[in-house]
Amino acid sequence: MTRLFTTYRVLALIVGVLLAFCSLVALPTKYLATDGSSLQQFGEDASILWVAHGWVFMVYVVVAFMLSRAAKWTPQFTILALAAGLVPLLIFWVERQVAQRLRAEHPELA
């Protein structure tokens, strides 16, 4: 479970950063910046990272699900952990919750 836990944390970090960047930087610059400006173009180009987010999120979902089985999470907490990859910034909080829970129940994870 140690490796699963580490994998989960790395993926959570990547998904969180990509989602935060896409939704808080790429999205506003693409739609709010003046049409044709270099800022707007940057938002347009940066939007390709949505695809990266989607594909890393697929892996995240699988790993989070495996972890939820191994750690016997409740369905509610499992759904929260899976959906966290879709709400900007939520995943950083969820990841800390996950870490706290796992460390409380499995002291060997440190």
Partner 1 sequence: MPRVLAPRFWGVHLLAAVAVGVAAVLGFWQYDAWQERRAAEARDLTRLEPLPLDAVLGPDDPFPGDRVGQPVLLGGTWLPDATVLVAGREHEGREGYWVVTPIAIGAEDGPALPVVRGWVASQDAVPPPPEGYGELVAWLQPPDPAGEPDPDPDDDVLQEVRIADLVQRVDQDLYGAYAVATEPMDGLEQADLDQLPEVSRFTALRNLLYAVEWWFFGSFALFVWWRWVRDEAMAEPADGAPVGSGA
Where do contacts with partner 1 occur on this chain (CB under 8 A)? 48, 50-51, 54-55, 58, 61-62, 65, 68-69, 72-75, 78-79, 82
Burial (0-12, 13-18, 19+ Cβ within 10 Å), 2? exposed
Residue 52 or residue 110: which is nearer to partner 1 going by CB?
A: 52
Backbone angles phi, psi at 36, to 5 degrees: 85, -10
Distance in Å, CB of 9 to partner 1, minimum: 20
Number of helical H runs and strand E runs in the chain? 6, 0
Distance in Å, CB of 99 to partner 1, minimum: 20
Distance in Å, CB of 63 to partner 1, minimum: 12
